[in-house]
Every structure is written in structure tokens, then in C-alpha cells.
Amino acid sequence: MGSTSAHSDHEGVGRRDLIKRSAALGLIAVPTMSFLSACASGDSGSDEKVDKGKKSKENPLAVNESAPLEIVIFDGGFGTKYAEDAKAVYEQKFPKSKVKFSSTQKIQSVLQPRFNQGTPPDLIDNSGAEQMDMGVLVGKKQLADLTPLLDAPSVDDPSKKVRDTLRPGVVEMGQFDGDPIWIMYYAYTVYGVWYSQKALESLDATYPETWDDMLAVCAKAKKKGMAGWTYAGKHPYYLPFSLYPMIAKVGGREVLDAIDNLEPNAWKHPAVKTCFEAYYELFKKGYILKGTPGLDHIQSQTAWTEGKALFIPNGSWVENEAAKTMPKDFACTVSAPTGIDSSDKMPFGTIWASGGEPFIVPAKAKNPDGGMEQLRIMLSEASSKNFTKSVKSLTALDGGTDGIELTPGLTSAIAALEKAGDNVVNPRIQDWYVALQKEKIGVGGLGEMMAGRLTPAEAIKKIQGYADEAAKDDTIKHYKHQ
């Protein structure tokens, strides 16, 4: 979600919904809005921020220690305990503060009316099926700039700023147009092709690096009564988790940049055609688990943990999310996507890894300093280790895994990052254009192709059309790689 990332069962929205949603969020000007928001909270008027506290070494963000703080967390693949534990640290530090903590899977329905009234919470984990569209929030100036948090001293080493303790790319992901940082991605997700090392070894196979080898492994699996692949058929925007980095591997990262930038004909690049045709071959040769287009993320993950399919495109939350059905000796493993052959532009190991679980502080939060301080606490080594231990996933903090017994999936994710080195890609289309990525490219294009209802050429034509529509649509804000 988280996406992002966003993960879990989030489904996209069409353009009409986006306009409705923007209106509901108060992102499209409604003349009576200021009047409404003035009446929204009888006690203190909606725009009043709490007074600043006293800045000190212990309190670098000058948090008002008696001001209330409100946190809303998305309850998805990572659960909420990690955030509740960090809240307890905040309460210990500011015992006079009343902290209100709640969680939901319906971020948008629960929080839209409150953005409307100018009374949003102070910190939100904006993830999941009902994630609010970040591009819209940024475009309409609904978020606070998190630069004060990133420039504050880190909890563990005050000589280092928070920004200097984060994994590569995390700060940039929170930016949309140049400098302000609007989003703090807390989790760090490794996307790719996930499988059981045990199942792969039972086929006397190793992970395939070329597409011919991939087809050969799938043929072996089929002979043993196991499908080569499954995926979240009802949420086909999971397919890009392995397909996008494959496109970069084959054609170079500039192909993904052109796609992100909504450039005309970006989807007509030969690398896109090659990769679409490769994936379509999985369908044509009968290597996809029967019924996959009708499965959601949980059902496809369950079929995979039960050994009905060998490979699944997913993010590193899957080890935690599928834990209930995963056998003890499954040996959950992630790999970078298989390429085509030695003519690919980037080496094998090229992978998509990026921030997940987007945390935001609303522009109209009453206690923005408290919201940022809570994030500063979460980015400490203790909170980061707590998250990694409890949910089997990395955080944005670079390091923070020493002395933790790592699960198989997490161990393989760290190894995949090491193998990738500088060959880590981070497609932004899923953050910049949520509706386009999920509904149009995912459901309307890739989902239809993988179900055999569109040929690769037809899917490319359709997706390019969707991208062109988005590029021409002046009701949405457009972003470009700087």
C-alpha cells in the first residue's frame, strides 16, 4: 500500500471518481468551503495550530508537550502494532500529551470529510485500497512540507540529520516538483518475482536469468502439476512489480522515465513490446494458474503458498501478509525479474525497490510538529528494528537490521538489493497517477492481456491511449523527472 505503494487490496479510481473525490476533499474550490470550515469545529476554529513548544536538544522540533496528537494508520499487510509501539514512546516523552490513535482500511472514506472541514488528523499512513491520491493532495497544497523533520537531528546520532540516515531514493520519492518533501515513506519495499526456494529445488531448477530458461522452468513445473505463475488477477497492477523492472533491464531505465513522464509513444518502445510478448507467452503456453484472473491478492498468495504456482509478482510485505498459509519450510525468496537475453541494456539483478507506506502530515493539522516528531521517533533504530522484527520488512532507515534474526524473505530481499547495487529502478507512475496505473494500465491493459483478451499489440495501443488521455487531461497535475 503501500503502493505503493502501496499494497494490500487497493483498487484504483476512474477520472470521474477522481473529480468527485477532489471535490469531496475540498481540493476543487467550492465557494462556501471557508464558511463551512469556520463552523466545522466549534471550539477553536479549524485553522488554529497549537502553540509551539520550547526548542531544545531533546525537542528539536519544538513540540508543544501538552498539545494533543492524533494519528490514523492504515491497517493492512503490516498491521498497526509497530505504530502503536512508537506512539507509546511519544507518550513517554510527552506525558502531558493526549494521543488519539486509530486505524482503518478505508483511509479515503474516513478522512475525506475531515480534510473537507479543515480538521484532519496530525499524522496519516495514507495507504491501501482507499489511499488518497498523493498527486492530487500535493497539487492542491493539502500537505505540510516535511523538510523540518528531515533537517532535524536523528534520534540515535544527533550529529546526523534524519535525511542522512535514510535509504537511497526515499527523500526524492517524497518530492513531486523540486524541493519540498511532502511524504515520508516509512517502509522500504523490494518488488520482484517471489517463489519458494524449496519448490524450485524440487524441480531441480535454479532461478532463470533469461526468458528461454524461464519458459523451461515453467514447463518443468507444469509436468509436476504446478503452474509456473499466478498473480492478483483482480488487482493486476501487481504485474508491474516484476514487469516494469524487466522493461528497464531490457531497454534501459530511460524507458521507464519516458513512461512516468507520459511521453507520446513511450509505451511503443521495443523493450515494452518485447516484455509484453514474453509475459503473454506465459498465458499462451498455459503456464498461468487456471482461474488466476478471478483471484484477489490474498487468494493468489494462498494458491502460491499452497504450492499450486511457482512464481508470483509481489512486494516484500507478502511474507507477512501470507504468513498464515505459508509452510514453515517454504523458504520464501525474492529475485530480480528474469530478462530476455544477453542483449539486455542492464544486468541481471536490476530490481524495483522503493519506499512504501506513505506517511503525511496535513497542511491543516493542528499539531504538525507532533506529527513530525512521531515520525522522527519511528525513524530511530529501536522503532525501525521493532517494525522489521514484527512485520518481516525493511524500513526507510538505512541499516537497523543488526542483531535481528532475519526471516528467509527478508534475507533474500537484502541479498537482492546487494546484488542490484546501483541497478535499482523506481517507477513513479504509481505515485504520480494512481488512477491511470491501477485502473487503466492495470485492469484495462495488463489484466486483459494476461487473461488472453488482448494481444500484446492491442494492450500496448490501449495503454498508450490511456497515457495520452492522462497527458492531455488538465484536471490532473502532471509531474516529470527532474
The residue among 103, 131, 105 whose CA lies nearest residue 2 is 131
Residue with the three cell numbers 522522527 = 376
Number of neighbouring beta carbons within 10 Å of residue 232: 25
- Residue at 47 is within a domain: yes
CATH code at position 133: 3.40.190.10
Does 6 fall in a domain?
no
pLDDT tens, the chain, 482 aa long: 444 444 443 333 344 444 444 444 444 433 333 333 333 333 334 468 999 999 999 999 999 999 999 999 999 888 899 999 999 999 999 999 999 999 999 999 999 889 888 999 999 999 987 888 888 888 889 999 999 999 999 999 999 999 999 988 899 899 887 779 999 999 999 999 999 999 999 999 999 999 999 999 999 999 999 999 999 999 999 999 999 999 999 999 999 999 999 999 999 999 999 999 999 999 999 999 999 999 999 999 999 999 999 999 999 989 989 999 999 999 999 999 999 999 999 999 999 999 989 999 999 999 999 999 999 999 999 999 999 998 888 999 998 888 888 999 999 999 999 999 999 999 999 888 988 998 899 999 999 999 999 999 999 999 999 999 999 999 888 988 87
- What is the DSSP secondary-structure string of 335-397? EPPP-S-TT-SS-TT-EEEEEEEEEE-BTT-S-HHHHHHHHHHHTSHHHHHHHHHHHS-EESB
**Secondary structure of residue 80 in the 3-state scheme:** coil
Q: Looking at the 3D structure of the chain, how many domains does it have?
A: 1
Nearest partner of 190 among 452, 469, 413, 15, judged by Cα: 413
Hey, what's the cell of 248? 528497464
The reply to whether 46 falls in a domain is yes
Q: What is the CA radius of gyration of the chain?
A: 22
Q: Which domain holds residue 178?
A: 15-186+358-404
* In a domain? residue 147: yes
Residue at 227 is within a domain: no
- Residues 369 and 375: their CA atoms lie apart, in Å, by 10
Is 383 within the bounds of a domain? yes
Residue 272, helix vs strand vs coil: helix
In a domain, 166, yes or no: yes
Instruction: Indicate the burial class of 275 (C-beta count within 10 angstroms; 0-12, 13-18, 19 or more).
Output: buried
In-domain check, residue 40: yes
